[in-house]
């Protein structure tokens, strides 16, 4: 069986599984929707065998959704020595840096909450609060930029970069606990690094995204329909996959590293902002600019953070102080431009539809992602 056909079948049957969970979640008439979409699939591809399999996978998704709601999984706690080490790191950071810089360092490093209400408001209003939260959007952008930064260290081979980045993700998950948002952010970060290391510009990026949705659904199907962090992390990595390469082409006047960091940051922001406006109504016209000012330096902070994980000495924390002062300054300056308004869900869908239409017309002739041939 040709490789592309196998990839297309994975996408079709995986999408059927996700549709099955969605129909149960949103409608009591899910049974009828399952048959209706299987019929539409048959009318489109005129293949009875694949249509029957499509129907089976839809029902598999529906039944799994219903079954999973009856199962309560035990909460996983990180080993006690990991918890103790986290507490040790928090105290070490507090002793090494002045306030509020130590609070920002702990936020970037450990996802700690802000102790100062004014500083927190500055980060919320400037659109920079995500760099201090353990969110999928945050870690997806951070791991992507961090991975690119490691490429500029001559002694690190691609395999070493991959293993080090993967280890860092696992360690972060352990350090921050097995909370749902941390685990899902780790999954998205690992998939992103896997794509960058093993596949480069992966032809079937849609399958990686679908695989992530299936993983989230297996953990708990409600995550992809109700959890904002899951939705934002998925949108962020979608933007990095599809929109970032288009933006990067427009930034040839910048050094290669900044082309990637700027394009991936901007793409993730564009893809997540409509949903943020729908949920929170927090709009800052300059938030994209504030992120572009801040996120390119995050790899340097993350490098110091990574070293601090293994060598928790105050001198490493001191090296991060100029970066922390800069980030706090940017957050304060751009926080004054915020306005509040929420957009309706229909407008959110319209925005994403227009974005995907533009992406489709830009890459339809060179990308395999849009060729769904089952013959």
Residue 371 covered by a domain: no
Q: What average pLDDT does this structure show over 84-99?
A: 83
Task: Examine the domain organization and report whether 38 and 162 are in the same domain.
Answer: no
Task: Examine the domain organization and report whether 94 and 57 are in the same domain.
Answer: no
Task: Examine the domain organization and report whether 116 and 248 are in the same domain.
Answer: yes
Residue 369 covered by a domain: no
Task: Examine the domain organization and report whether 17 and 166 are in the same domain.
Answer: no
Residue 327 covered by a domain: yes
Beta strand extents in the chain (DSSP E only): 282-284, 338-340
At 274, the pLDDT band (50, 70, 90 cuts) reads confident
**Higher pLDDT pick, 129 / 82:** 82
Task: Examine the domain organization and report whether 184 and 276 are in the same domain.
Answer: yes
Whether pLDDT at 180 is above 90: no
Answer yes or no: are the C-beta atoms of 286 and 266 closer than 8 Å: no
Task: Examine the domain organization and report whether 140 and 280 are in the same domain.
Answer: yes
| Structure token pair of residue 77 | 């706690």
Whether pLDDT at 136 is above 60: no
At 131, the pLDDT band (50, 70, 90 cuts) reads low
Q: How far apart are CA 375 and CA 217, in angstroms?
A: 29
pLDDT at 282: 60
At 200, the pLDDT band (50, 70, 90 cuts) reads very low
Answer yes or no: are the C-beta atoms of 249 and 363 closer than 8 Å: no
Q: What average pLDDT does this structure show over 125-144?
A: 63
Mean pLDDT over each residue of the chain, to the nearest integer: 79
Residue 161 covered by a domain: yes
Task: Examine the domain organization and report whether 13 and 61 are in the same domain.
Answer: yes
Whether pLDDT at 321 is above 60: yes
Total number of domains in the chain = 2
Task: Examine the domain organization and report whether 59 and 135 are in the same domain.
Answer: no
pTM confidence score: 0.73
Residue 323 covered by a domain: yes
What is the residue range of 50's domain?
Answer: 3-68
Total residue length of the chain: 375
Task: Examine the domain organization and report whether 107 and 44 are in the same domain.
Answer: no
Please say which residue of 45, 68, 91 terminates a domain: 68
Whether pLDDT at 330 is above 70: yes
Whether pLDDT at 135 is above 60: no
Please say which residue of 68, 93, 109 terminates a domain: 68
Which helix H or strand E contains 134, and what residues bound it? none
Answer yes or no: are the C-beta atoms of 206 and 234 closer than 8 Å: no
Residue 265 covered by a domain: yes
Q: Residues of the chain with pLDDT > 70: what percent?
A: 78
Question: Minimal CA–CA distance to 296: which of 323, 332, 336, 328?
Answer: 323
| Structure token pair of residue 322 | 């100029």
Residue 370 covered by a domain: no
Q: What average pLDDT does this structure show over 167-180?
A: 72
pLDDT at 74: 67
pLDDT at 201: 45
Q: What average pLDDT does this structure show over 189-199?
A: 65
pLDDT at 241: 82
């Amino acid at each position: 069986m040709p490789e592309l056909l196998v990839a297309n079948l994975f996408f079709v049957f995986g999408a059927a599984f996700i549709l099955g969970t969605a129909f149960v979640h949103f409608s009591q008439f899910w049974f009828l929707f399952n048959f209706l979409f299987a019929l539409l699939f048959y009318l489109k591809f005129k293949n009875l065998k694949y249509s029957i399999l499509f129907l089976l996978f839809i029902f598999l998704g529906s039944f799994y959704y219903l079954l999973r709601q009856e199962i309560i999984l035990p909460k996983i706690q990180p080993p006690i020595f990991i918890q103790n080490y986290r507490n040790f790191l928090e105290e070490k950071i507090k002793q090494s840096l002045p306030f509020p810089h130590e609070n920002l360092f702990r936020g970037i490093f450990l996802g700690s909450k802000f102790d100062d209400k004014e500083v927190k408001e500055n980060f919320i209003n400037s659109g920079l609060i995500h760099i201090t939260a353990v969110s999928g959007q945050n870690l997806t952008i951070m791991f992507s930029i961090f991975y690119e930064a490691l490429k500029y260290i001559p002694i690190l081979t691609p395999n070493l970069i991959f293993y080090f980045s993967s280890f860092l993700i696992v360690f972060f998950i352990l350090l921050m606990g097995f909370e749902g948002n941390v685990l899902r952010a780790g999954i998205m970060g690992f998939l992103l690094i896997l794509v960058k290391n093993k596949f480069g510009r992966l032809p079937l990026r849609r399958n990686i995204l679908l695989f992530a949705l299936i993983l989230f659904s297996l953990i708990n199907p409600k995550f992809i329909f109700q959890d904002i962090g899951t939705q934002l992390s998925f949108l962020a990595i979608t933007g990095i996959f599809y929109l970032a390469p288009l933006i990067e082409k427009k930034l040839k006047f910048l050094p290669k590293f900044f082309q990637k960091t700027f394009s991936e940051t901007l793409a993730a922001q564009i893809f997540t902002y409509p949903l943020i406006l729908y949920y929170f109504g927090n709009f800052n016209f300059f938030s994209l600019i504030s992120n572009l000012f801040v996120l390119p330096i995050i790899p340097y902070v993350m490098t110091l953070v990574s070293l601090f994980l293994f060598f928790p000495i105050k001198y490493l924390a001191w090296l991060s102080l100029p970066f922390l002062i800069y980030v706090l300054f940017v957050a304060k300056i751009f926080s004054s431009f915020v306005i509040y308004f929420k957009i309706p869900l229909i407008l959110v869908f319209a925005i994403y539809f227009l974005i995907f239409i533009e992406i489709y017309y830009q890459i339809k002739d060179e990308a395999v992602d849009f060729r769904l041939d089952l013959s």
